[in-house]
Amino acid sequence: MPDFITVQDAVFEYLRPESTPVRAVDHVDLSVAQGSHVAVLGRNGSGKSTLARLINALELPLEGTVVVAGFDSQAEGSAWEIRQRCGMVFQNPDNQIVGTTVEEDVAFGPENLGVPQPEIRRAVDEALAAVGLSEYAVRPPHLLSGGQKQKLAIAGILAMKPRCILLDEATSMLDPVSRRDFMDMVIDRVRRDGITLVNITHHMEEAVLAEDVVVLSQGRVVAHGTPADVFEAVAEIRAEGLDVPAHMEIAHRLAESLGATLVHGETETPAKAVDAVIRVLAESKADRSERFSSETAAAAAAPAARHAGAFTIDPTDILIDVKKLDFTYLKGTPFSNRALEEVSFQVRRGEILGIVGHSGSGKSTLVQHLNGLLRSAPGVVTVLGLDASRGGDIRAIRQKVGLLFQYPEHQLFEETVRGDIAFGPRRMGLPEEEVEARVLEAAKIVGIAEADLDRSPFELSGGQKRRAAIAGILSMRPEVLILDEPAAGLDPAGRDEILSYVSSLRDHGATLVLVSHSMEDVARLADRVLMLDHGRVAAFGDTRDVFSDEATLERAGLSLPASTAFLKRLALHLPGLDTARFTAAAAATAVLAAAGAAPANGNGGAAC
C-alpha cells in the first residue's frame, strides 16, 4: 500500500509575544499507509494536535515536509487539495457545527467544494444514513446530544467523500458509552470504504483498536508499533502519563512480582491475558519460595497503607438527606421531561459518595437540588438541618455546600487568580484578612504557587486553570463539596493528579459527592455509590457491592470497572478471587492471594 501521509523531519513552533517560541513538534517522522488506522497517543501539550494540524495543512511546518495524498502542504494551493481529501473532527462538538439544521451542516463541506445541488442532496442523505442521523435531518443541532453532534461532524466529512479522517481528541468530551458507540461507528465506516484513519487521543481503549500506535512526548515520537508492542512496555507508558489497558497492566504487575517473564503478545487481549496469568501462576507454584513472599507482601501492604488513615464514618451522622425528590422540566408543556423520580438517599459526614449514571440519567439535575439551584420540586432535601427544597436560607446552604460544575475553568472571570479565589469569601462578607488567609489556604491545597496568584487566570495552563477554579470553591470552606466530572477532558496523568487532590480534601474535613462517567475513578475513590437510571435510583450502597452487580450496571447502561471485568474472567479459573479491586496493584495482590501465592492479607474489605 502506498503511503497516504508522509511526515518527514517536521518541526513546528508556536510564536509567543515577548518570549521564546514553543516547539510543539520536534523532528517528527511518520508515514501512514492508505487505508490503515493509526492512533497517536500523548499527554495534553505533547504536540499531537499540532501534528494533526500539520497533516491537514492548517499549519505549515517550519522545517521538514508534510506530504498528504501526493500534495506537499507547503506548495501553492495544496491546502485546498489536502483538506478536500482529509477531513478533521475536533474536540468540542459545539464549536465545529456551522449549519442551523443537521442537513445544512452536513452540506457545508460539499457546498464549499462547489458540488452541484442534486449531488449535494445525495451526498448529504448518504452521509446522514451512514452515521444513523437520518431522522434528525431537519433538527437544529443544539438539540442533539454530544455523541450525536460528533456523529454529525463525521457526517459532514463523509459527505465530502474523503480518503482520510483525522480525529483530534474527538471523543474526549463524550461519556464512555457514547465514546464506544462513536468509535465503533467510525471504524466500521472507514473499514468499509477503505478510508485512512488517524485518531489522536489519550484514551488507550481507543488506541488498542488501531493497527499502529504512535506515542508523542514533548513533540517527539517516543514509541511506535502495534498496540501490543507499545502497551507491553507498561512502565514506559505509565511514565508518559498514559493509561495501559487493565488486563495488560494487571498481568504485567503480577508477572513482575512473581519474577516471571511474559512472552510478546501474550497479554494482547483480555482472553489471552487470562491464560498468561494462569500460566505464570502455575509456574511460580511449582517453584514457590520465600524469595517472592517479601515482594508480594510489599505489594499487598501498599494499598493497605493508603487506607490506614481512612476516616471512621458514623452512619448516623447525616449531612444531606434527600427524600422522594421528583423533578420535571417544563412541567405542563409538550416538552415536559421527568428528570428525577422519587429519588431518596443520604450523604454521611466524611464520606465520598460517588454518583454514576449514563448521560441524561439525571445526575446534574440531582446535584443542583443539593445546593438550592433547583428548588420547589415534590420531595424534601435537607442540608445540614436546613431545608433546601423550599424556604430555607439559600445563602447559608450555598456556603455549606460547594458545587463545582464541569469545565469550571470556563467560569473564571476576575483579573487575577487571587481575585477569583477570593470571590466566594468576599460574597460571604468576611473581613479582608480572613479572605486573604482563605485564598492562601485554598491555593496551597490545590498546589497553586503564591507567585501565580497575581497572574491573570487566563495565562495559566489548562490544568492550572482547573485547579484555580477548584480553589475558588474551597476558599468558601464548604462542609460538602460536590464535584461534577472534575477530571473531564484531562489526560490520564492530569486526571490522576486532580483525583488525588480530591481525595486529599477529605483530610481537610470535607464530605465529597463525586459525579462521574468513569466507573474506574468512582470505584477507586468512593465509599458508597448512588447509581441513577432514567431519573430513578438503580442502586445505592457500598462501592464494592454496587460494582460487583454486573446485571444492574448493564441495565443502567454502564459497565464494570475495567479491573473488575478482567478479574471476573480470571475468577472462573481462580475460585475465591476478590473481584472488587479497582487498581492494577490491588488487583494483582488479590490474584496472588486467591492463588495462595502470597501471604494472607488481612485487609479483606478495603477496596481501593
Grid cell, residue 331, equals: 412541567
In the block, cell 450496571 appears at 553
- Count of C-beta atoms within a 10 Å radius of residue 167: 28
Please report whether residue 143 would count as binding another protein according to CB under 8 A. yes
Please report whether residue 392 would count as binding another protein according to CB under 8 A. no
Question: With respect to another protein, which residue has the nearer C-beta, 49 or 217?
Answer: 49
d(CA 535, CA 365): 9
For residues 150 to 179, the per-residue mask of contacts with another protein, x marking binding by CB under 8 A and - elsewhere, is ------xx--x-------------------
User: Are β-strands 220-225 and 212-217 bridged in parallel, bridged antiparallel, or unpaired?
Assistant: antiparallel
For residues 48 to 67, the per-residue mask of contacts with another protein, x marking binding by CB under 8 A and - elsewhere, is --------x-x---------
Please report whether residue 290 would count as binding another protein according to CB under 8 A. no
Q: Smallest distance from the beta carbon of 67 to another protein, in angstroms?
A: 18
Q: What is the dihedral of CA 589, 550, 546, 277, to 10 degrees?
A: 0
d(CA 260, CA 588): 14
Angle at 594 between CA 590 and CA 595, to 5 degrees: 115
Q: Where are the alpha helices (DSSP H) in 20-169?
A: 48-55, 78-85, 102-113, 117-131, 146-158
- 281 and 596 in contact (C-beta within 8 Å)? no
Question: With respect to another protein, which residue has the nearer C-beta, 159 or 237?
Answer: 159
Among 14, 21, 70, 100, binds another protein (CB under 8 A): 100
Adjacency order of strands within the sheet including 196-201: 86-89, 164-168, 196-201, 37-41, 212-217, 220-225
Please report whether residue 11 would count as binding another protein according to CB under 8 A. no
d(CA 199, CA 274): 29
For residues 291 to 330, the per-residue mask of contacts with another protein, x marking binding by CB under 8 A and - elsewhere, is --------------------------------------xx
Among 116, 315, 332, 604, binds another protein (CB under 8 A): 116
Q: Smallest distance from the beta carbon of 180 to another protein, in angstroms?
A: 24
Q: Smallest distance from the beta carbon of 407 to another protein, in angstroms?
A: 9
Among 9, 188, 191, 413, binds another protein (CB under 8 A): 413
Please report whether residue 83 would count as binding another protein according to CB under 8 A. yes
Please report whether residue 472 would count as binding another protein according to CB under 8 A. yes
Burial class (CB in 10 A: 0-12, 13-18, 19+), 264: exposed
Q: Smallest distance from the beta carbon of 39 to another protein, in angstroms?
A: 20
Q: Which stretch binds another protein (CB under 8 A): 110-118, 196-204, 233-241, 267-275?
A: 110-118
Q: How many residues bind another protein (CB under 8 A)?
A: 66
Please report whether residue 263 would count as binding another protein according to CB under 8 A. no
DSSP letter, residue 589: H
Among 292, 327, 405, 540, binds another protein (CB under 8 A): 405
Q: Where are the alpha helices (DSSP H) in 194-323?
A: 204-207, 227-231, 234-239, 246-257, 270-286, 290-308
Angle at 607 between CA 353 and CA 482, to 5 degrees: 15
How many angstroms separate the Cα of 327 from the Cα of each of 439, 453, 485?
Answer: 36, 41, 22
Please report whether residue 375 would count as binding another protein according to CB under 8 A. no
d(CA 219, CA 23): 7
Question: With respect to another protein, which residue has the nearer C-beta, 114 or 575?
Answer: 114
Among 8, 31, 34, 92, binds another protein (CB under 8 A): 92
Contacts to another protein by CB under 8 A: 56, 58, 80, 83-84, 87-88, 90, 92, 94-101, 103-104, 107-117, 120-121, 124, 140-143, 156-157, 160, 329-330, 335, 337, 368, 371, 373, 395, 398-399, 402-403, 405, 408, 410-413, 423-424, 427-428, 458, 472-473, 476
